Structure 1
Amino acid sequence: MPFDHNDHYHRLLLRHLPRPCGRALDVGCGTGTFARRLAGLGIDVDAIDPSAEAIAAARALSARTPGDRAPNWRQADVTAVELPGGRYDFISCLASLHHMPFGTVAALRDALAPGGVLVVLGLYVARTPLDHALSLAAVPVNAAARSAVAVRERLRPPSAAAGRTRVRAPVRAPALSLPEIRAEAAALLPGAVIRRLLFWRYLLVFRRAG
């Protein structure tokens, strides 16, 4: 399995879990790697993705470990459903927000319980000199990480790769620059903290008052 930029940041995202955390929503869950990780912590997880193929793969992967707690998988477009207000202690959105209008975060904000946390691992358009410098700096790090993963994969026994499910994720280039994302977030998620990350990503963290 190749190096995954989103999986690389799972530990960082989990640092922002509120305590306690009873229920979570993973938006654009794909094949469910992060959703299963949340469920493994004893959290009730709703995982949503518009791709029927991705949800089918997520269910199949969960079925291979029947003793584990499984998320509630749902095929749906989060922009086309009504989320229950004040329901979730934690909402995650990994590399999926740029597939929808940024204003979707308003619905995610309203779905947070008091004290709940929204984390977005997002992509942005590189436009400033700093953006381009960080993009350039990420190239050798990315190459080294991919090489390390490739070596590790070659050392695994053939049985370790059996039954792996591969789903081609939809690709869409981000439309907003980081300054534009900061401006949108300031209006819709007052108090949100945004920081740049390597691998062409940013982290947004918003905590609902309460």
Structure 2
Amino acid sequence: MFKEQSVSLSCEEDDSSAGWTLRRNTSGETRTQCGDGWGRPAGSSCIISYMDPSQSGVYWCESREGATSNSITITVTDGPVILQSPVLPVMEGEDLTLTCQTETSSILPAGKPNTTSPPTSSPPAPETTSAPAQTSDPPSTSDLLYLVIRLVCHLVVFCPYCISTFIMVSLYRQRAKGNDLSVSMVTTPPTRAEEGLDENYDDVTTEHHF
């Protein structure tokens, strides 16, 4: 159905059951009956004066004893065209009729869009086992720009790390090289005058190497 259309749904009563009411399930309601926020009950019928897409759902009749009828699905569209198809499933090989219903008097064709060339009367070509050739599309400008940005980001993060690592290694090598240098210490004994030593002692100089 189109939006803003009106519809009247009726439940056929028999002698065994009475008091049929119309119920529905929609995306926002479950088992609500006619008159509870939607529709206007009129005996065993329900009149909906204004249909909108939110009222799309499953409708059925239910008696006081709990008996239910077959359900119908109502779809309300906000567009200008409705593609009508059979209610029941169609088996393979059966005929199928599709109808376009429009709000205006325009005539539109129905069916599957033609994605390939129309079939010809020639027999189909035999199937081959060779795999179809695969072609790779060249990268787009956006892909190249994304790769360049990723590369710049990696360089910005990686360069300070490399520079700091190089500085630390250089300092470590200089410090290790300084530890390898020999240290010499020259010890000169005090003079004879300070220690009161005899003048016959010779001066002794001791040199230690570490």
Bigger Rg over Cα: 2
TM-score over 0.5 for the alignment?
Answer: no
Specify which structure has the bigger relative contact order, considering alpha-carbon pairs within 8 angstroms and separated by 6 or more residues.
1
* TM-score normalised by L of structure 2: 0.22
* TM-score normalised by L of structure 1: 0.22
